[in-house]
């Protein structure tokens, strides 16, 4: 399957965020705790460069608790301020204000030194579609919030939400990024509902989900659907056979008693999204760390290549310098030759002058002779 979804309104929203980021002190990004890395928009890293960053792992109640803390440590090691939250129940939401304040400590201190006191921290809340951003805002802001209206320099019609005299929030539309480099990222986003279901084949999606579950959570499928323990499903054909069994167990049948695999596919996807399959995490921090190491190695290789290129450039520069020196030498030689030629010309001129003098002398002698001869006559 190929996953990609980037409608025009997302491109427009991104442009608006680029305009507003200069007004922001801290960027709060919500990710889905079931796929913390894949639900983190890489464009935000570029957009929010040099800004304080907070990551909220939302829907942490739906993820496998064994991995929540590990993912939190992973992001903290990258320099983010991180909190586990459940926006629906409100769990973890109260700590967010303290985390935002901590993330902005340096900025608040700078303001104090400049004599700026009690200036509210301005936070932009970002996240992919269906990550639970609106639910979080409602839970975080509560009834005490008031809209502060248009701010100077902000795109017309944009509303800030005042949480208190110390904090203002700017909500943004959920956006993805134009191209998924890794199609597994697209798959995970589709599974949690961040890609429009209308452009996804639910059968293909369910088969991919079964492959993932059979690898990491084989007991889940057996327990939920009353089928034998799944241990050997490692290809789409095996996943299809398993889906047929699920269809029979769920009484998803068509005429003639044949399993209705498309109906069963929808059941499996819905069961995952509504936690009926249990708390499931679809990606793991150790795997991510290994990929990061590979990326670092690739970066080091690229650096080495760049160094080699620089060396080659330096060599080429040295060659060019040597060529220039040789050219200069040739020019000097040519100048010397020209000087020698000029000297030769001057010598020739001198010789010609001497010749002319000799001729003049001869003429004078001839004249003298004529005069003498005339006298004699």
pLDDT in tens, the chain (377 residues): 677 777 888 888 899 899 999 999 999 999 999 999 999 999 999 999 989 999 999 999 999 999 999 999 999 999 999 999 999 999 999 999 999 999 999 888 888 888 888 888 999 999 999 999 989 988 888 754 544 444 433 334 457 888 777 889 998 888 998 888 888 999 999 999 999 898 899 999 999 999 999 989 989 999 999 987 666 688 999 999 999 999 999 999 998 899 999 999 999 999 999 999 999 999 999 888 888 776 667 666 666 677 777 777 878 787 888 888 888 887 878 787 878 787 778 777 877 777 877 777 777 777 777 666 665 44
Strand partners, 146: 162
User: CA separation (Å) from 291 to 215, 241, 295, 326, 341?
Assistant: 19, 32, 6, 51, 73
CATH 1.10.10.60 fits 201-283, yes or no: no
In the chain, where the domains are located: 8-171, 201-283
What is the C-alpha separation between 364 and 377, in angstroms, rounded?
A: 20
Pick among 3.40.50.300, 1.20.1300.10, 3.40.50.720, 3.30.300.30: CATH of 8-171: 3.40.50.300
What residues contact residue 131 under an 8 Å CB cut-off, 6+ apart?
Answer: 30, 31, 32, 39, 58, 59, 174, 194
Backbone angles phi, psi at 30, to 5 degrees: -90, 130
What residues contact residue 195 under an 8 Å CB cut-off, 6+ apart?
Answer: 3, 5, 129, 176, 186, 189
Helix axes 285-376, 65-77, angle to 10 degrees: 30
**Single pTM value for the model:** 0.74
Residue with tokens 């499903």: 233
DSSP 87: T
C-beta separation of 24 from 47 below 8 A: no
**What pLDDT is recorded for position 154?**
34
**What pLDDT is recorded for position 155?**
34
C-beta separation of 176 from 41 below 8 A: yes
**What pLDDT is recorded for position 298?**
62
Query: What number of other Cβ atoms are within 10 A of residue 124's Cβ?
Result: 22
**What pLDDT is recorded for position 144?**
44
**What pLDDT is recorded for position 363?**
78
Residue 171, H or E segment: strand 167-171
Strand partners, 183: none
Q: Which two tokens stand for residue 294?
A: 């590979």
Residue with tokens 């960027």: 27
DSSP 6: -
**What pLDDT is recorded for position 377?**
43
């Amino acid at each position: 399957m190929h996953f990609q979804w980037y409608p025009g309104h997302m491109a427009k929203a991104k442009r608006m965020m680029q305009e507003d980021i200069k007004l922001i002190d801290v960027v709060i990004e919500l990710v889905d705790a079931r796929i913390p890395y894949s639900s983190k928009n890489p464009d935000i890293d570029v957009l929010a460069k040099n800004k304080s960053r907070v990551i909220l792992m939302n829907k942490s109640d739906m993820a496998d608790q064994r991995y929540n803390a590990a993912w939190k440590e992973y992001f903290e090691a990258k320099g983010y301020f991180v909190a586990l939250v459940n926006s629906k129940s409100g769990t973890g939401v109260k700590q967010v204000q303290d985390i935002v304040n901590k993330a902005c400590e340096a900025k608040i201190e700078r303001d104090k030194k400049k004599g700026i006191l009690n200036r509210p921290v301005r936070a932009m809340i970002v996240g992919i579609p269906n990550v639970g951003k609106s639910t979080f805002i409602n839970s975080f802001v509560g009834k005490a919030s008031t809209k502060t209206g248009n701010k100077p320099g902000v795109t017309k019609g944009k509303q800030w939400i005042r949480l208190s005299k110390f904090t203002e929030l700017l909500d943004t539309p959920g956006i993805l990024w134009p191209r998924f480099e890794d199609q597994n990222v697209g798959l995970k986003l589709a599974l949690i509902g961040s890609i429009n279901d209308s452009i996804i084949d639910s059968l293909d999606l369910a088969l991919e989900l079964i492959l993932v579950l059979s690898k990491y959570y084989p007991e889940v499928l057996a327990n939920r659907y009353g089928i034998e323990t799944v241990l050997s499903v490692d290809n789409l054909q095996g996943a299809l056979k398993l889906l047929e069994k699920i269809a029979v167990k769920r009484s998803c049948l068509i005429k003639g008693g044949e399993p209705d695999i498309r109906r069963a596919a929808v059941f499996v996807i819905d069961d995952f999204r509504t936690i009926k399959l249990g708390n499931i995490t679809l990606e793991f921090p150790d795997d991510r760390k290994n990929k990061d190491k590979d990326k670092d190695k690739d970066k080091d290789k690229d650096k080495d290549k760049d160094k080699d290129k620089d060396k080659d450039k330096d060599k080429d520069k040295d060659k060019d310098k040597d060529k220039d020196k040789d050219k200069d030498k040739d020019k000097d030689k040519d100048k010397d030759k020209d000087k020698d030629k000029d000297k030769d010309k001057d010598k020739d001129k001198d010789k010609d002058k001497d010749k002319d003098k000799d001729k003049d002398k001869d003429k004078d002698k001839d004249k003298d002779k004529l005069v003498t001869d005339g006298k004699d006559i």
